[in-house]
Every structure is written in C-alpha cells, then in structure tokens.
C-alpha cells in the first residue's frame, strides 16, 4: 500500500511563468505578431494556429487586460529574457548593513580615534553605523558627556556621512545612527 495518503496531501506542481498556447483561458485574445506588429483581436484557436504555423508559441503577456494580450514568440527565449532581467535587478541591489560601535562617556582619546577610524571605513564601504554610549552607575548623572561625545562624532564624520537618527536615550544608553551621504 504505497499510496496510503489521501490525494489532497500531495503537492500539486503549479506551472511556472506565464500561460502559453492551450493553457490560456480566454476565448478571444489581442495578438501581437512575432515581428512586434498588432494583429488585432481574434479567437484563441486561430491565434494558436497562427503561432504554430511560424513554429513559435502564443504567450500571454498581459492576462488582466480585456481581452488578454498575447504575443507570438519562442517560450524558451521569453523565459531566458525574464531570467536575465531578474539577474540584472539583483545585481543593482545594494545590501546595507548596520555596524555598531560601542563607547563609554570616559572613552580615552586613542580608543575614540581608533573607533572613529573604523566607523569611517564602514561608511565609505556603504554601511550605516550605530553609535551606542553606555552609562553605568553614577555616569547617568553626567549624560551631557555622552551628548558631547555624539556631537564630536557628528562633527568628525560630517564630510562623509549624515545623521539618520539623532542621539536619543534608550534606557541607560544613548543611541545614534549615521548613514553615508
């Protein structure tokens, strides 16, 4: 009894891409020829026969139009072109990541300079940088030191970055995000 599961549990293979030839559901379609010229509205059967005469497929380009727009072309070439367009769009995407740099109100100048140098590297690379100044214990009474530190960061990075979110308190820490210009 290899097929003991009910039929509705099996995944149905849904065809990928646009409908073509006999899969088109409309009775009448607007047809565009293989050369790009408009052949007008005609019954689906006649349009499929026209495509078969040329050795090509009838592909539904705009299914929501009334009547649907179909084009006579090679299905393999059409799918290849769609894939090329998708790859081009993916190449042009820029993934921006958020880098975090943690500081304290009493961070020494050498450490501060080192962290600013790294922040500038991240910004030049195209990433956003989140600066976090943590306050512990009595440092909470000197939040002005954190504010001065954030202002200094803004001043030192203003030529390559702009402030996305101004310095604000979140619990016991002050947070600011800067992004490339």
pLDDT (0 to 100) of residue 96: 79
pLDDT of residue 181: 85
State how far the Cα of 84 lies from the Cα of 14, in Å rounded to an integer. Answer: 22
pLDDT at 5 over 70: no
Containing domain of residue 139, as a range?
A: 98-180
Q: pLDDT tens-digit profile of 98-136?
A: 999 999 998 899 999 999 999 999 999 989 999 999 999
Domain assignment present for residue 12? The answer is no
CATH number of the structural domain spanning residue 102: 3.30.110.10
Number of domains in the chain: 2
User: Coil, strand or helix: which one is 123?
Assistant: helix
Tokens of 41: 């509205």
CB-based contacts of 115: which residues, under 8 Å, 6+ apart?
101, 103, 107
Q: What percent of the chain has pLDDT over 70?
A: 91
Nearest CA among 139, 130, 118 for reference residue 175: 130
Q: Among 70, 91, 112, which residue terminates a domain?
A: 91
The answer to whether residues 56 and 103 belong to one domain is no
pLDDT given at position 178 = 93
Q: What is the pLDDT of residue 90?
A: 86
């Amino acid at each position: 009894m290899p097929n003991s599961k009910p039929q509705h549990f099996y995944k149905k293979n849904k065809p990928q891409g646009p409908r073509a030839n006999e899969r088109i559901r409309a009775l009448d379609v607007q047809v565009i020829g293989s050369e790009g010229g408009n052949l007008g509205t005609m019954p689906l059967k006649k349009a499929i026969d026209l495509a078969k005469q040329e050795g090509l497929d009838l592909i539904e380009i705009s299914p929501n139009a009334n009547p649907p727009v179909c084009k006579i072309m090679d299905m393999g070439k059409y799918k290849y072109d769609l894939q090329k367009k998708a790859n081009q769009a993916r190449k042009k995407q820029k993934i921006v990541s958020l880098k975090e740099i943690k500081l304290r109100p009493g961070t020494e100048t050498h450490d501060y300079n080192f962290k600013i140098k790294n922040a500038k590297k991240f910004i030049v690379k195209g990433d956003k940088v989140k600066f976090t100044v943590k306050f512990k214990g009595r440092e909470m009474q000197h939040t002005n030191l954190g504010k001065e530190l954030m202002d200094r960061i803004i001043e030192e990075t203003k030529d390559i970055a702009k402030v996305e979110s101004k310095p604000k308190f979140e619990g016991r820490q002050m947070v600011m995000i800067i992004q490339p210009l």
